[in-house]
């Protein structure tokens, strides 16, 4: 998945991957530090942060790191995207890249990314009740 390296979240892609990988550690202190680092990056307000997470989740690399990225994205969307992203173009880009990722990723990551769709589109939940 291509992500524009011109914005901070993508430029910090190595740091993002490192932190996501550290969340998989057996050492609680490492996990706590990594989670705090991810929270710091997400709180910085970069509107492209969810796209950077999606790029890691749908990209190449360690499956554990990719699942961690998908899981953090799911939780981020649940907490922060009630009204979509800061611009309709950015939101459309996110949705397009998410749709492409759903068609390409393996089942373990697909299960988590489907939850991103459900968290992002509240109307899907309404249809389950019909």
**What is the number of structural domains in the chain?**
1
Residues 6+ apart with CB under 8 A from 61: 17
Assigned domain for 2 exists: no
| pLDDT tens, residue by residue, 11-69 | 468 899 999 999 999 999 999 999 999 999 988 888 889 999 999 999 988 999 999 99
Integer Cα distance of 83 and 103 in angstroms? 25
Q: Which domain holds residue 57?
A: 8-129
Integer Cα distance of 59 and 41 in angstroms? 20
Assigned domain for 57 exists: yes
Sign (positive or negative) of CA dihedral 51, 80, 82, 127: positive
Assigned domain for 28 exists: yes
Assigned domain for 3 exists: no
Comparing 82 with 29, which gets the higher pLDDT? 29
Assigned domain for 79 exists: yes
| Cβ neighbours, 10 Å, residue 102 | 15
Assigned domain for 76 exists: yes
- Tell if the pTM clears 0.85, that is, is over it: no
Assigned domain for 82 exists: yes
The least confident of 7-11, 55-59, 71-75, 120-124 is 7-11
């Amino acid at each position: 998945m291509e992500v524009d390296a011109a914005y901070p979240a993508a430029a910090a892609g190595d740091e993002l991957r490192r932190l996501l990988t550290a969340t998989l550690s057996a050492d609680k202190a490492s996990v706590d530090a990594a989670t705090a680092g991810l929270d710091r990056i997400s709180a910085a307000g970069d509107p492209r942060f969810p796209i950077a997470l999606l790029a890691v989740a749908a990209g190449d690399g360690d499956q554990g790191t990719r699942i961690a990225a998908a899981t953090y994205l799911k939780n981020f969307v649940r907490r922060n995207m009630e009204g979509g992203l800061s611009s309709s173009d950015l939101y459309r880009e996110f949705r397009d890249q998410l749709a492409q990722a759903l068609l390409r990723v393996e089942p373990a990551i697909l299960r988590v990314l489907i939850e991103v769709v459900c968290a992002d589109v509240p109307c899907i939940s309404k249809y389950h009740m019909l």
